[in-house]
Structure 1
Amino acid sequence: MNSSPPLITPATKRVMNLSHILRQAARRHGAGTGFVWGERTWTWVELDQRVDAMAAALAAKGIRKGDRVLVQSKNCNQMFESMFACFRLGAVWVPTNFRQTPDEVAYLAQASGASAMICHGDFPEHAETIRETAPSVRFVISIGHSAFGENYDDLVELHREHSVSEAAVEYDDPCWFFFTSGTTGRPKAAVLTHGQMAFVITNHLSDLMPGTTNADASLVVAPLSHGAGVHQLVQVARAAKTVLLSSERFDVDEAWSLVERWRITSMFTVPTIVKLLTEHPSVDEHDHSSLRYVIYAGAPMYREDQKHALKKLGKVLVQYFGLGEVTGNITVLPPWLHDPEDGPGVKVGTCGYERTGMQVSIQDDQGREVPAGVTGEICVCGPAVFAGYYNNPEANAKAFRDGWFRTGDLGHVDEEGFLFITGRASDMYISGGSNIYPREIEEKILTHPAIAEVAVLGVPDRTWGEAGVAVCALRPDQTLDESELLAWLDGRIARYKVPKRVFFWKALPKSAYGKITKKTIREELETQGCLQPADPAESSAQRR
């Protein structure tokens, strides 16, 4: 049987080159301040000219459309510019987490097939390792003076009179290799495209920070290599200025001082940073009334921390759920749905509803959608979903099913479509035949006034298969021991969910993006010999 003829003749899906948003800002608001770092400022025209010059320098060195450019750098104006310089040529921006080791960055160079590297002068070992192990990298450009490559700013000055035309790009042409965090193995390069990211920018402006204009300002408190870089694209699209902290060290007092000085209206961060910002005394010493959107992602915020932040800042919190592969575009919980008090109609524990143009499906192991209230894997489709992992067909086969991207997160939706995340599929453990989701236990433990942070993990147990272990950090000047916390939990959660052991550390390890890293916690517990299966008699006694 013949299939029906196509309704339209296929055509080239040309889209705007993403670097054009910087050109637009320069044309409309050229003399306005676009970027602030320390005491230095750059206008939109200056930024656009510097991007043209660096694009010309890269082109003179043979970088062409589709080539990958590895960028190892702390936050600075050059890193910000390098994104647009790559985009302008149709090349692919490949930023690293600057805290990664030289060997880890060398792997990213090899996995991406990078042709060039832009490296901050503080990382000579990274540049040297790349030269020794990544033959595809033909040259290195140094941010700041160093012995390992031509100086970035010298090249900008050399090519200052050059103007570069934006490369013609199609919807699926890659612009950014967004490396996953690699918490369960080697990082994978999620391919982000010009067409996809144009949708993401529009969606962020619609759902996360509506009404953003050139009168706004955004404070960067996270590495531009990750979600913060996406948010700065959004700011550029509306000519809102970007303000950096003076160094990579997170200084809470400086952050609030910059909020006051530059009348910051939005910032993107993670729950642990919101907690630090709102629990520090300086939150009460600086004017932050300009804030409209404090956007947090990466993990749901614990309810007690959420309440505290709302009382300090007012209803400015915006939560979204998303992964690098979907570029933050799965759900949103806007300010008016954040409430500092529990009560009728308050959606406690949700990460919001579907983003504009996106669809969520909760599915069982066979890919069947489950009813409201039933836990399953969170799957998503829509224009914000990435093109796939670069050169990794096995990972792509696992990540997609029937066109749905499988997030690996577990959760359920209510009758109104609000999503509740239970945890990572890899976090769930089975104890005595019962599925246990650490998130629920962590939420309860955090309501104890002495607890600042907590992570719950499933560990081997001879009787129950697996049992829970909690690792906690206390608030300053607080004391609490294992028996006291376990006694406090008795009656607050079901007995079978109560952790078998509780360990207290000064602080919990976190990734460069501020998320608690359970993989590192597990490794440390194993090193300390804390994960040996317990004696069956002891385990049985605790269940009684």
Structure 2
Amino acid sequence: MTHSPLTLDSPFSTLSALVSANASSRPEHPALIEDEQRLSYRELDQLLDQVAFSLQQDGLAAGDSIAICASNSINYAVLFLGALRAGVVVAPLAPSSTAESLQTMIRDSAARLVFVDAPVQQALAAIEAQLPALLSLDDSNRTRGFSQWLRQGKPTPVEITPAMHFNIIYSSGTTGEPKGIVQSHGMRWAHIVRGIPFGYGPDCVTLMSTPLYSNTTLVSFLPTLGLGGTLVLMAKFDAARYLQLAQQHRATHSMLVPVQYQRLMNRADFDSYDLSSFHMKFSTSAPFHAELKADILKRWPGGLVEFYGMTEGGGSCMLMAHLHPEKLASVGQPLDGHDMRVIDEDGNELPYGEIGEVVGHSPAMMEGYLNKPEKTAEAEWYDKSGKRFIRTGDVGRFDADGFLTLMDRRKDMIISGGFNIYPSDLEAELRQHPALADVTVVGVPSTSWGETPVGYAVLRPESNAGAEEILAWFNQRVGKTQRLNRLILTDELPRSAIGKVLKRELRDQFFAEHGVLE
């Protein structure tokens, strides 16, 4: 593949400047594609000027913020990039959040303007009077539509420094208290540069089906447009449509979460599509099982890279699965310049092979949670030299080769009768049953044991196996302390938009229906 002239040693620049450079060197090259709509780099650059100018005309200055809450679209990408050109900070919010949660995040981010699509506008109708001005990103509101809001004009140039805020990404937007993670232009520049060795460049075609409010998506979005490639947008993931678009556009790169890979690989017609154009595929955000990685390596051309890390930054690991097929159960080794360690409950560092909470330090760490110094402090750990690390909340261990294997989220670990039980171990065993398509295990309250494990499972379409039959099969295969108290069959597991199983929802649902078990 042809690579961008940018090198790893390049000084700091901005995504906005790179888009302008691409518009000068390859003005008619397609930058964004959504269904039948296309934008060249020349058109994209002009629109970024219009967005930046319009924001400045509305009185927004560098350091001010806007919020975007909508499905993926070309307008979304244009608005995001244009705001950055004006030095305006973008807070992309999850449309799946409750109206109350959205109001909290909008207020916390100090957004001066809020851009929404029709479904979000309807969801916010009852509290719209309490919010900043809402603008219709999809032009569904003709009096306050994005196209009407855009003005012709050249923005006043803004000098962007590495320390300036790029975006505010909120964690726990659907459950728990939303926390705004502030990330800088310098951190995002590092993400663009990091894309070069993976083949991002002028000839790449990235098929994007994960939401733009997610850091998962931005890790692929930024290097594609920064390095002059073409981004094909999907408003919503659909396995059949994804495969059609991949074949049609000769996709070379894609970032998918594990549940999307699972749905693609499960399709009976998967092998009938021509996916030979793929150079590299990526995954992050949720547990990625070794069996699924092996199936992808066998049947889907191109490399497979798994990233493990947090939106907050800290340390990240990378598994080049196509180069290390013997390590598929791990999430790989720390990236260059990333210092990752394991600590016990008291904050003491543990040696290789010991299980504990994973902490990490890297050049790309959040400054902190917006307006929440106490939450920031809770997320930090310092070694004896005073070096700052970010706690991941994940439990894992490093092997002798430096590969990290994750056990579970610390909060998801089950303590039953004094024994630590890792749901991931039970899930791996349960997944071996031929009748099951999807599984998860949660800990629920028990008067006898403190907590006890309960399984949830989705049957394969052709199966009619019963819960008691599967439960008996499972409990004969594991130790006494790991036995499931019960197994509940369900049509689907609740997942976030980026594929994480919402275990808290299942725990709350179980307690509401069954209370405390004996």
Q: Scaled by the length of structure 1, what TM-score is found? A: 0.88
In the alignment, the residues of structure 2 paired with residue 368 and residue 349 of structure 1 have an alpha-carbon distance, to the nearest angstrom, of 26
Aligned twin of 1:5: none
Give yes or no for contact 1:411–1:419 (8 Å, CA) kept in 2.
yes
Structure 1 partner of 2:319? 333
- Check 1:348–1:263 CA distance in 2 against 1; reply closer, same or farther (3 A cut): closer
2:461 to 476, 485, 504: 476
Q: Is residue 107 of structure 2 the alignment partner of residue 110 of structure 1?
A: yes
Q: Which residue of 2 aligns with 1:532?
A: 516
Counterpart for residue 79 of structure 2: 82
The residue identity in structure 2 corresponding to 1:359 is: D
Deviations 1:415-445 (A, max 9, x none): 1110111111100011111111101111111
Query: 1:88 and 1:283, CA in 2 relative to 1: closer, same or farther beyond 3 A?
Result: same
Counterpart Cα distance in 2 of 1:121 and 1:445: 41
Residue of structure 2 aligned with 1:232, choices 221, 235, 255? 221
From 166, 174, 177, the equivalent of 1:175 is 166
The question of whether the paired residues in 1 share the 8 Å contact of 2:136 and 2:145 is answered with: yes
How many residue pairs get matched?
Answer: 502
Matches within 5 A, 1:26-425: 26-126=23-123, 128-129=125-126, 131-134=128-131, 137=132, 139-147=133-141, 150-156=144-150, 158-159=151-152, 162-182=153-173, 185-206=176-197, 210-226=198-214, 227-245=216-234, 247-248=235-236, 250-314=237-301, 316-326=303-313, 330-337=316-323, 339=325, 346-402=326-382, 403-425=388-410
AA aligned to 1:266 is H
Q: Which runs of 5+ in 2 are unaligned?
A: 1-10, 383-387
Secondary structure, in 3 states, of the residue corresponding to 1:281? coil
Please say which of residues 388-397 and 81-90 is displaced more in the overlay.
81-90
Which AA in structure 2 matches 1:386?
A: M
Shift of 1:386: 1.1
Q: Identity over the aligned pairs, expressed in percent? A: 27
CA distance, structure 1, for counterparts of residue 127 and residue 233 of structure 2: 28
Task: Find the aligned partners of 1:426 and 1:281 in 2 and give their Cα distance.
Answer: 37
Q: Deviations over 1:321-349 (max 9, x none)?
A: 1111129x60111142353xxxxxx1241
Change (3 A) 1:131 1:148: farther
Name the SS for the 1:170 alignment partner.
coil
Instruction: Give, as a single letter, the amino acid of the residue that structure 1 aligns with 2:66.
Output: V
Which residue of structure 1 aligns with residue 479 of structure 2?
494
Q: Distance in 1 between matches of 2:47 and 2:31?
A: 13
One-letter amino acid of the structure 2 residue matched with residue 428 of structure 1 = M
CA shift at 1:172, angstroms?
A: 2.2
Question: Per-residue displacement from partner, 1:246-285 (whole Å, max 9, x unpaired)?
Answer: x43x321111111111100111111100000111123123
Summarize deviations over 1:393-417 as a string: whole Å, max 9, x none.
1101101121110111111101111
CA distance in 1, matches of 2:147, 2:226: 25
Q: Separation in 1 of the partners of 2:196 and 2:486?
A: 45
CA–CA distance in 2 between the matches of 1:144 and 1:487?
52
Query: CA RMSD for the aligned pairs?
Result: 2.0
Distance 1:151 1:182, change over 3 A: closer
- SS of 1:115's partner is strand
Equivalent AA in structure 2 for residue 220 of structure 1: M
Q: SS of the residue aligned with 1:366? A: coil
Q: How far 1:183 sits from its partner (Å)?
A: 6.2
> 2: CA distance between counterparts of 1:147 and 1:298?
34
- Write the distance in 1 (CA, Å) between the matches of 2:195 and 2:444: 39
Q: 1:144 to 1:486 in 2, by over 3 A?
A: closer
Shift of 1:182: 4.2
Q: CA deviation at 1:382?
A: 1.0
The residue that corresponds to 2:7 in the other structure is none
